[in-house]
Structure 1
Amino acid sequence: MDALNRIKFLEDRLHRLSEIGMALSTEKNTDRLFEMILEEAKAITRADGQTLYSMNKDGNLEFEIMRNDTMNIDMGGTSGIEIPYYPVKLWIDKQTPNKQNVSAYVALAQKTVNIHDAYEEEGFDFEGTKNFDEKSGYRSKSFLTVPLKNHENEIIGVVQLINARNDHDEVISFNEEMQEQLESLASQGAVALTNKRLVEELKTLFEAFIKLIATAIDKKSEYTGGHCNRVPVITMMLADAVAEMTEGKYKNFSMNEDERYELYIAGWLHDCGKVATPPHVVDKGTKLETIFDRIELVKTRMELLKRDAEIAFLKRQLNGQASDNFDDEFKETIRQIEENMNFLENCNVGGEFMKQNLQERVKSIGEQQVHLYGTDQNFLSNEEMANLNIPKGTLLPEEREIINDHIVITIEML
């Protein structure tokens, strides 16, 4: 290759590395990202075999993709074919590193190993490779094994190429130029893979955070508990059902993965503003409920009225002022008090609609003058009468406004 062609070749190679770097940075599918690394490695070296390992949670090298053109092997990645081999252990035991396996050694030493002929190499154990060759008739010769290191210089995987080929399809050794280009590619691939994992970790953290908010909201109320957890599930069920429609105005409806994820997150966050809604409003199960149900205070007042009626009855008897039918008058007074109390208890439970005559009766009972706590006053306060006369449900207009305001708060939070 003359100087001019050499320059042209290097320009093309730099341009290609730039293109693959951009492609790697935008790829969202991990398997596809792995395949792009191997495909470009093959384009650089014309290697017959390509294997990519990733570091698993146990600290071993797990097979992600395994390919060999001559043997027509394509496993892992997007092929859907599972690789039947165990991960490569980096440590034989807690104190003995696995330096016999070339991939393990590269991961441990964090440096590239370029082997011209595996059958003549004495530093590593290629017994398994030789047995495979003997059974298959293949000849594994040149090996180039390169580590994938992230921004913290930690090993996240290993790329291994087998049998580089020249323009005549003859097996050759991996030269220094191939090694440099593959190391550059491995560096780009490692950065892209690390960035993708960081994005996934951020998404996981974000989802955990919004689920924490949703759980806190659900725990605030026994009446709405589980609502925030159910909405995203039902939302995605509805989205799937609409997407499966083959006729009607939604027959062409579809959502890509990003849109589905946005809808899923929206389902989780739809009620996040309720974190600022007072619990006594969210949990207002009866009309007089605040932090407790004030119907109990009304019952206490009724008991005081019954006590006063009984005291008046006994005083009249002691003074000889009781009429012949005073017993009946006393019983009628007690009956009326208990009837009013039962009526107010029923009104305290919210319903679909409260008739006007019932509202008038509440007002009539509430405006009765009674002597309580040393003063004459209405039996019910104006606020209690307003609550008991709520025509629908258990919320006053201003309380309903507070509930609805969680929508505004949700928008502001988002």
Structure 2
Amino acid sequence: MAKPSDGKDEVVGPEVSDRLGYEFRELLATSLALSSERNISKLLDLVLRKARELTGADAGSVYVIEAADADGNGQPDNLAFGDPDARGPQALGTAGRRRAMTPIAGVQSRQARLHFMLSQNDSMHVDFKKFVLPVDHTSVVGHAVLSARPINIEDVGQAAGYSRRFDETTGYRARSMLTVPMLSAEGDVIGVIQLINKKRRFSQILATAEDFEDGVISFDEHDKEMALALASQAGVSLENAILYDEIRRLFESFVEASVTAIESRDPTTSGHSRRVATLAVALAESVNALDSGPLASVHFSPDELRQLEYAGVLHDFGKVGVKEQVLVKAKKLYDWQLEAIRLRLAYARKSIEAETLQWQLHMLKQGAAKPDHAFEQQ
């Protein structure tokens, strides 16, 4: 954070100036990227990667706060973190059964869980499984959420209550740690960024005990300010992405309800709308895979593929307004309709016969009224 000027010109060395310029450009580019990203997984991955680059952290992880289930479990299996690129009847079919990510205001331990979203580590590949943590003071991330303040630990191994189980299991030693909360536009904590092991050289790989001892340093005040600046942008972008994801899920629920309504009106064609959507998307994806021919220049974006899928499942939506007796008939016409047509034809036939007989009778009457010599003259 900039100090108030005392009226004297401050001399900044070229190396510091270049570093500040780089950080400013990175923050600006990251801000622009975050403002347009709607995929939550990609957004969080970008946030963590940039936070590590700007602070020189070797590893890091991201946690997101979610409201607990009705039974208080907050199990990750019940969570659905939005992937706007996911398509197919299965994706739409589960829209009504998935619970969207729901940030909550005024975090309390009984109302929320911390959901582990992703991790990054330049020195070691660790395959983490997603898990949840209670929002309480038993963990560093939980404490950061409840205090809504950054936590900077120089050596977590010396911190009281720190468990070395992870270090012993993976062989990766966590020394310095910086944990910063992500805040929404209203100032509520909706997530946490945790950075681990700031390195003297960002390109260094931490492989041996000497590397961890000599190559890892503490996060300084400038690192904390950079992480807070990025976390502030990330919090607002994450909140917007969550709201966008909830709107998308709401629309998918409407689409699913519409398909159910269509199929309930016409059970004989059940599954037709989904098959049309599946085939339409498959054809479009096949076009995307072409590298030659007249369609090689045609490409469908993920949004266009999703629109095509929606159009496929809703193409028979007009059936909702058609009378049920028209939809469920086995043939083109009901028996009584066919009988009505036959009766009309019979009536027309009888009418023509009657008119013909009347004309014949009229002609006979005219002929009987004339004398015989009149016919002879004709």
- Partner Cα separation in structure 1 for residue 173 and residue 272 of structure 2: 63
Separation of aligned partners in 1, 2:263 and 2:170: 61
| Residue aligned with 1:64, SS | strand
Q: Which amino acid aligns with 1:145?
A: T
Question: What fraction of aligned residue pairs are identical, expressed as a percent?
Answer: 32
Per the normalisation by structure 2, the TM-score is 0.63
The answer to whether the aligner puts 1:87 opposite 2:97 as a matched pair is: no
1:244/1:184 CA distance change after superposition, 3 Å: closer
What number of residue pairs does the alignment pair up? Answer: 290
Aligned to 2:150: 112
Does the 8 A contact of 1:60 with 1:87 survive in 2? no
Summarize the alignment of residues 369-384 of structure 1 with structure 2, pairs less than 5 Å apart.
none
For structure 1, list consecutive stretches of 5 or more residues without a partner in the other structure: 76-81, 92-96, 296-343, 349-357, 370-414
Could you tell me which residue of structure 2 aligns to residue 126 of structure 1?
162
Mapped pair 1:25 → 2:35: yes
TM-score with structure 1 setting the length: 0.58
Aligned AA (2:281): M
- Cα 1:2–1:65 shift into 2, 3 Å: farther
The structure-2 alpha-carbon separation of the partners of 1:21 and 1:252, relative to structure 1 and needing over 3 Å to count, comes to closer
Matched to 1:65, the amino acid is: L
Matched, 1:3 2:12: yes
Whether the 8 Å contact between 2:276 and 2:312 is mirrored in structure 1 is: yes
Structure 2 CA distance, aligned partners of 1:137 and 1:265?
49
1:65 CA displacement = 2.6
Quote the residue 1:207 is aligned against. Answer: 252
8 Å Cα contact 2:55-2:226 kept in structure 1: no
Over residues 157-201 of structure 1, what are the superposed CA-to-partner deviations in whole Å (9 max), with x where a residue is unaligned?
A: 321112223469743221222112101111211222222222221
Q: State the secondary structure of the residue aligned to 2:33.
A: helix
Give the corresponding residue for 2:212. Answer: none
The change in CA–CA distance for 1:367 and 1:73 in structure 2 (over 3 A counts) is farther
RMSD: 3.8
8 Å CA contact retained: 2:285, 2:300: no
Shift of 1:83: 0.9
The answer on 1:63 being equivalent to 2:116 is yes
Which residue does the alignment assign to 2:276?
A: 231
Aligned amino acid, residue 154 of structure 2: H
Counterpart of 2:220 in structure 1 is 175
Instruction: Output the amino acid matched with 2:224.
Output: Q
Q: 1:213 to 1:191 in 2, by over 3 A?
A: same
Equivalent-residue separation in structure 1 for 2:268 and 2:34 (angstroms): 49
Higher Cα radius of gyration: 1
Q: 1:120 to 1:267 in 2, by over 3 A?
A: same
What is the DSSP-based 3-state SS (H/G/I as helix, E as strand, rest coil) of the residue aligned with 2:264?
A: helix
Q: Which has the higher contact order (CA 8 A, sep 6+)?
A: 2
What amino acid does structure 1 have at the position aligned with 2:27? L
Question: 1:271–1:138: structure 2 CA closer, same or farther, 3 Å change rule?
Answer: closer
Task: Give the AA of the match of 1:89.
Answer: L
User: Residues of 2 paired with 1:181 and 1:212: CA distance?
Assistant: 46
Asked whether the equivalents of residues 50 and 68 of structure 1 are also in contact (C-alpha less than 8 Å), the reply is yes
